[in-house]
Amino acid sequence: MKLPIDRGLVVVDEQADGTRTVRICAEIKNGEAVDVFAEHNGATRVKVHDGVTLTRRGQRSYSTQILEVFDEEGVVNIKRVSSHS
């Protein structure tokens, strides 16, 4: 079965308890997610794949390009858009 994959701009917030919230959105303004259409809450494991660049501001990181986000066996993966997905 193929994994559900979300594509969009990505914002990752590190929470005080060590978990992360990964939001997939249509736009990012001043580092804030706008028009969020998917979200992974309480992620304990997040893998940022090679070739992905995130801008960091404090406890928040965000993309400037559209990325793919999917959960595979409890790991939230963030990777470049692939023509094979």
Q: Which two tokens stand for residue 45?
A: 């494991």
The token pair at 72 is 């595979």
| Structural domain contains residue 72 | yes
- Whether residue 60 is contained in a domain is answered as yes
Average pLDDT, the chain: 94
Mean pLDDT for 67-75 is: 96
At 3, is the secondary structure helix, strand, or coil? coil
Residue 1: predicted pLDDT: 44
pTM, 2 dp: 0.91
SS3 5: coil
Please give the angle made by the CA atoms of 67, 73 and 77, to the nearest 5 degrees.
Answer: 15
What's the chain's Rg over C-alpha atoms? 12
Q: Is residue 82 part of a domain?
A: no
| Mean predicted confidence (pLDDT) in 72-79 | 96
Total number of domains constituting the chain: 1
- The residue segments making up the domain with residue 37 are 6-76
In a domain, 1, yes or no: no
Residue 84, in any domain of the structure: no
User: Is 62 among the domain residues?
Assistant: yes
- On whether residue 58 sits in a domain, the answer given is yes
